[in-house]
Structure 1
Amino acid sequence: MVMVRARTLAVLVMMCLVAWGLATPAAAAGGRQAPALDKPRQGGAGIVFTGKARPRANVRLQVRARGGWKAVGRDRASRRGTFRIAVRGTARPVDRARDYRVVSEGRTSRARTVAPVAATEPTAGPTAGPVATAKPKPSDACGTLLDRPGWAGGGTYQCSFVDQFDGSALDLRSWHVMDGTTSGAACMVDTPETVEVSGGSLRLTARPAARADQCPLRKDGTRASYVTGSVNTFWKWSQQYGRFEARMRSQAVSFAGPQEAFWLWPDTRYSSDATWPASGEIDIVETYAAYPQLAIPFLHYTWNDNGGPVPGLNTAWNCLAPRGQWHTYALEWSAERLTISVDGRTCLTNTAGAASFRKRFIMSFSQLLSGTGVNTFLGGARTPTTLEVDYVKVWK
């Protein structure tokens, strides 16, 4: 993982934040909880969605469509915070599985997948006619077969990797836990205090070290006094091209230091990473406590990183994603194009066609504490801080 250190980045980002008049992390969090969506109920008239939100808050129901999320219904929560939204008629997903979520006061619920259902039998009587049935569109473990954007001749993506983190432990058949590597102000260790699966999420946490020798010695003879969690699919899974998507939440804090990432790295079973950055790295998203309103993608593929961060080419500084809220980050990757989006909004498109991205990459999630630059962690008793990952899905 590479920290954003350029002074120009700090100056320009802060200018953008001032110009936009964006809220502080505390204001973004607002003390409100994300809305909750119950398991949808299907019937002959359609689908009924229920759940909870802040009392009297407006709630919008959205369905995942090509290019992002589309609103299909709304309600206002009752005094007890409950809501009910019915989707009827042509919106009924009888042909294929669809993902739904609700949005309230800038926060999103966990997505719910509604599987295809059989057509309703006709009502008995002389006026009843045949029921038209749509040809089912297959679904898979990822929930919905997504259309391939720009794919010549059409076609769909197929699920190649999915983890909903619904169990009580990390699936070590798919994931490798980093242990003993120092990065920034902390070292990565494999303990339940730094890497945990609970409540339907992967939780990666940075916290003070449990003992003085928990982190390895640095070259200068010192040790990091904080520990953190990072996982990847090193030598267990990798893929070249496709769609990579994760729903994540970075903790809202009032101090610099926390840095989170959803990123891809070359699979060294197939190609070397010794010539980094020219060997390639795809940071789908990096979030920094010093820039609490932004998600920052970064593409590394030249020996000098194109001379530094170049918005619109290898990075973007205008992708809004306030900390303390759930956001969905996605990469569409082909030989000629990489497109990164946040909550369905395109943030960065690169068409350089670099050879660095024409090979297999592993997938990583990291909670870090920055050691240099504007986001430098200054220590103190302000940790722990946690990155939550609701799910990750990959299609090819």
Structure 2
Amino acid sequence: NVNNHERQYYTSGTNNAALDGQGNLVITAKRENPANYNCWYGRCEYTSARLNTAGKFTTQYGRVEARMKLPRGQGIWPAFWMLGNDMGNIGWPAAGEIDIMENVGFEPGTVHGTLHGPGYSGSGGIGAGYTLPGGAAFADAFHTFAIDWSPNSIRWSVDGNVYQTRTPADLGGRQWVFNKPFFMILNLAVGGYW
């Protein structure tokens, strides 16, 4: 992704996303380029996976959660997020983005939840972080990352611990674009500016 300066090529199939035999879906980034994929910077250095429900499943309001054990390592960027289903028609950030969980490898014990929309996107997103107590890392065990979403409120939690709630009042008069269907995305990026 040239916008974030990520280093991976997202593949299809089971090379980078597969079940592990114990009921867990595993997304694996690999330092390889067997098909000579090209990225924004030239020949790609890594492969990974980005799974999304666009065109297959959307949701509007309720609880959205995933139980995950995050990978460990500098330069690794796992994310569980959502985009407005009208993304193909109006683009980003107008369609809206709900980051349920993002983790960057240099902060192994911290995850971030963020809203992006018109006038509050990219580094101007509205959000907060949650840090595990006692210096623990999210790679040490499985954790449940969730949002509870209603028409005028989105609440983030980790393992049931609520760490932020956002409402239209938090946007300083900018448009709340979270009253429509969204699709879900799970991905593992490599590199990037964030």
TM-score with structure 2 setting the length: 0.84
Which residue of the partner structure matches residue 86 of structure 2? 268
Which residue of the partner structure matches residue 130 of structure 2? 318
Q: How far apart, CA to CA, are the structure 2 residues paired with 1:318 and 1:189?
A: 31
1:318 offset after TM fit, Å? 3.4
Gapped runs of 5+ residues in structure 2? 170-174
Which residue of the partner structure matches residue 238 of structure 1? 58
C-alpha change, 1:202 and 1:352, in structure 2 (3 Å) is: same
Q: How far apart, CA to CA, are the structure 2 residues paired with 1:209 and 1:196?
A: 17
Q: How far apart, CA to CA, are the structure 2 residues paired with 1:284 and 1:200?
A: 22
1:224 offset after TM fit, Å? 1.1
1:370 offset after TM fit, Å? 2.0
Correspondence list, 1:135-154, <5 A: none
Deviations 1:57-100 (A, max 9, x none): xxxxxxxxxxxxxxxxxxxxxxxxxxxxxxxxxxxxxxxxxxxx
- Identify, as 1 or 2, the structure richer in strand: 2
Deviations 1:328-364 (A, max 9, x none): 0111111110001001111110011743111110011
1:190 offset after TM fit, Å? 1.3
Q: Does 1:327 align with 2:143?
A: yes
Gapped runs of 5+ residues in structure 1? 4-182, 374-396
Correspondence list, 1:30-41, <5 A: none
Q: Which has the larger radius of gyration?
A: 1
Q: How far apart, CA to CA, are the structure 2 residues paired with 1:367 and 1:206?
A: 7
> 3-state SS of the aligned residue for 2:64?
strand
Correspondence list, 1:361-372, <5 A: 361-372=182-193
Which residue of the partner structure matches residue 12 of structure 2? 190
1:304 offset after TM fit, Å? 3.9
C-alpha change, 1:260 and 1:334, in structure 2 (3 Å) is: same
Correspondence list, 1:348-359, <5 A: 348-352=164-168, 354-359=175-180
Q: How far apart, CA to CA, are the structure 1 residues paired with 2:86 and 2:97?
A: 12
Q: Is this contact kept in 2: 1:252–1:292, CA < 8 A?
A: yes
Q: How far apart, CA to CA, are the structure 2 residues paired with 1:307 and 1:197?
A: 34
C-alpha change, 1:265 and 1:328, in structure 2 (3 Å) is: same
Q: How far apart, CA to CA, are the structure 1 residues paired with 2:123 and 2:35?
A: 39
Which residue of the partner structure matches residue 303 of structure 1? 119
> 3-state SS of the aligned residue for 2:177?
helix
Higher relative contact order (CA 8 A, sep 6+): 2
Q: How far apart, CA to CA, are the structure 2 residues paired with 1:244 and 1:225?
A: 33
1:212 offset after TM fit, Å? 5.9
Q: Is this contact kept in 1: 2:168–2:176, CA < 8 A?
A: no
1:371 offset after TM fit, Å? 2.5
**Root mean square deviation of aligned Cα:** 2.4
Which residue of the partner structure matches residue 84 of structure 1? none
1:317 offset after TM fit, Å? 2.5
Q: Which amino acid aligns with 2:180?
A: K
1:242 offset after TM fit, Å? 1.1
Which residue of the partner structure matches residue 337 of structure 1? 153
